[in-house]
Chains A and B, each alone.
Chain A
Amino acid sequence: MSTFNLPDLGEGLQDAEIVAWHVGEGDHVVADAPLVSVETEKAVVEVPSPRSGYIKRLLAATHDRVKVGAPIVEFEDEAHADTGTVVGDLAAKPPVSAPPPPTPAVAGPPPKASRTRTLASPAIRALAHERGIDLTGIAGTGPGGTITHADLDRAAAGPERATEPAAGPIVLTGIRRTMAINMAKAHAEVVPATLWDEADIGLWWTGHGDITVRLVRAIVVARAAVPILNSLYDGQAMALRTLEQVDLGIAVDFEGGLIVPVVRDAARWDATSLRAEIDRLKTSARARTVAPADLRDPTMTLSNYGMLAGRQAALVVVPPQVAIVGAGRIYQQAIPGAGTVAFTHVLPMSITFDHRVATGGEAGRFLRAMIDDLQQYN
């Protein structure tokens, strides 16, 4: 018998949540094939199988939080398949099964419907079958989380109710939990102030154009003019470290929450390669496969919130960063001329900074430098 322990996923993480098993008990798996997806505080990481062999038991269930180093899989010992001699060796959870993979794109064995961890009495299962209700995902309020008749009725009443436990609130996990922790920390620590302005981008904006790439360039230019906003600040030690290299966090919104991958050394990319890098980071962030290295240590953040809605927003500075730049929704503006009116497109912008570290003047000069750059044709 051999077991496989949850490996250290880096970043000093203590534990991770099982998102999906890609194998089931009794399945054969080859080395390096996807074994399980786990969600750390920052991303969903696919853990490959360390070896080839038959899966004897899965030692953790979907949604379980597993400590790094804890056994998650027991492999069948192929040399002598006499399992009787080793059963019970491990103080483990009862065997659990492989739920269906999270997306059809993930390669894995077909889902085994009869081996889910849904808890329901035979009568409730029969009733659900009769009514065509899928019990998966219904939160049970009966003994030990068993789905009751009332739970079934609630699930049948509406799809929203089906996924919300009637018993009370859910505990945040994963990315949303990380966001909650970071935002609370920011709110407790940072003294934020926000400046708003707008850039006239009518020279180059024709209804389309790569706003994000231009914003990144403008930030790089502004940093050279006002270095202090690209700093990391340790509030406890009152220690400020101003950096030359801009590692720019790009806020990516997706249905799972907010994730901020980092464009490493924003100054080194030209427009084309920068766009490719941003696309790569967004895609992997939304697929929740972003590598820990791509999430590490931004020195400043850009939030292009205007993609959705909003002309102005006071954003949240996440320590130890000192500033976050926001870009709002572009709109057309009339400019009074000599007896005439001209129209142009303007990009609303904001910079929110930690006033413990930077002054309003510094922020203003930074924003001015950004605007000047953004207003250039090229």
Chain B
Amino acid sequence: MTETTLVKAVNLALARAMTEDEHVIVLGEDVGKDGGVFRATDGLFARFGADRVRDTPLSEAVIGGISVGLALAGFRPVAEIQFSGFIYPLIDQIANHASRFRTRTQGHKTCPVVVRAPNGGGIHALEHHSESPEAMFAHIPGLRVIVPSSPRRAYGLLLAALRGPDPVVYLEPTRLYRAAHEEMEDDGKDLPVDRCFVLREGTDVTLVAWGAMVVEALKAASQWEAKGTSTEVIDVATLKPFDAETVINSVKKTGRCVIVQEAPLTGGFGGEIAARVAEGAFSSLLAPIVRVAGFDTVMPLPKLENLYLPDAARIGVALDRVLAYA
């Protein structure tokens, strides 16, 4: 067991998959000699060579197109986009091609592209460097959308993505790259990519989050435990396909549900979760389903960033609100 950061866990999973399967190819801007903008591909170039760790031109559309082509030719491309805010030129390749091959070929062929990108704010970055576009991808049929929140889950979920047959958008919470660290083993074990993870069991309220917001949710749960509130914390981890059952069963137990998302409120994935809970746990609901989210504005620059990002304090306000319904 070694103390491992989230970015190191990503690196370990990539190396493990490349060792297991020579068809795994890493490509992206500065992923080669430089080891990637956050060093997620650090050492891979030296270890697996220029054929399997490819620096690309500064063109996300090209990275997407090459990846789709490689996947159809039998490779397992892992594309790194430097920030999820740069991912938009590649969406055409994802939405119109990668996600459709299973259907287009009547199940004969899939397109196992894995697109990785740092996601979300909290690192005082420039414009386009702190976006949270996961809901856009969750809306596309035929994709898996994964957002890890800890080194172990980052490792296990990425391995599953690299071993599975499906196109995957894998969004890594940038602010947790080095902030999140835990003891873990590079044991090659993957985690299911169709499940939510119950990180903490509770009976009074269900707190649902993903990515960096999981850390805030756990923080709030600990603080409210001191006030006598028993909070169940669920890490969604895989947004698509969404494991509604785990969340619904939890809310059936607690009667209350607070959802935390860093993305702007409107049209966010939290709305989808709220709808599923309302449908599936209606008669158990003691309180309105409450979302804690970013605001419906462009992600602010560093000066105002902390005002935008949901944190344990804002989650606490929501907890108090739903707990008032006894």
| A interface, CB within 8 angstroms of B | 121-126, 142-143, 146, 148-150
Min CB distance B193 to A, Å, is: 32
Residue of A121, A124, A148 with most chain B CB atoms under a 10 A cut-off = A121
- State the interface size on chain B (CB cutoff 8 A): 11
Question: Taking the complex as formed, is B287 at the interface, i.e. its CB lies under 8 A from any CB of chain A?
Answer: yes
Assembly CA distance A146 to B321 (angstroms): 13
Assembly CA distance A54 to B282 (angstroms): 33
Is the Cβ of A148 less than 8 Å from the Cβ of B284?
A: no
| B interface, CB within 8 angstroms of A | 255, 282-287, 321, 324-326
Is the Cβ of A123 less than 8 Å from the Cβ of B286?
A: yes
Is the Cβ of A121 less than 8 Å from the Cβ of B285?
A: yes
Q: Taking A123-B286, A148-B325 as given, write out 10 further A-B residue pairs in contact, using a Cβ cutoff of 8 Å, ordered by the A residue number.
A: A121-B285, A122-B285, A123-B255, A123-B283, A125-B283, A142-B326, A143-B325, A146-B325, A148-B326, A149-B326
Residue of A123, A143, A150 with most chain B CB atoms under a 10 A cut-off = A123
Assembly CA distance A227 to B324 (angstroms): 65
Which 5 pairs between the two chains have the least Cβ-Cβ distance?
A126-B283, A122-B285, A148-B326, A123-B286, A121-B286
- In the complex formed, the residue of A with least CB distance to B251 is A123
Assembly CA distance A162 to B284 (angstroms): 23
Chain A residues with CB below 8 A from B321, complex form: 143
Min CB distance A135 to B, Å, is: 14
Q: Majority SS of interface residues in chain A?
A: helix
Chain A residues with CB below 8 A from B324, complex form: 142-143
Assembly CA distance A121 to B325 (angstroms): 8
Assembly CA distance A150 to B326 (angstroms): 7
Task: Select one of B284, B287, B325, B326 contacting A126, CB under 8 A.
Answer: B284
Chain A residues with CB below 8 A from B325, complex form: 121, 142-143, 146, 148
**CB<8 Å pairs between A and B, sample of 12:** A121-B325, A122-B282, A122-B283, A122-B284, A123-B255, A123-B284, A126-B283, A126-B284, A143-B325, A146-B325, A148-B326, A149-B326
Assembly CA distance A125 to B284 (angstroms): 9
Chain A residues with CB below 8 A from B284, complex form: 122-123, 126
- In the complex formed, the residue of B with least CB distance to A122 is B285
Chain B residues with CB below 8 A from A146, complex form: 325
Chain B residues with CB below 8 A from A142, complex form: 324-326
Chain B residues with CB below 8 A from A148, complex form: 325-326
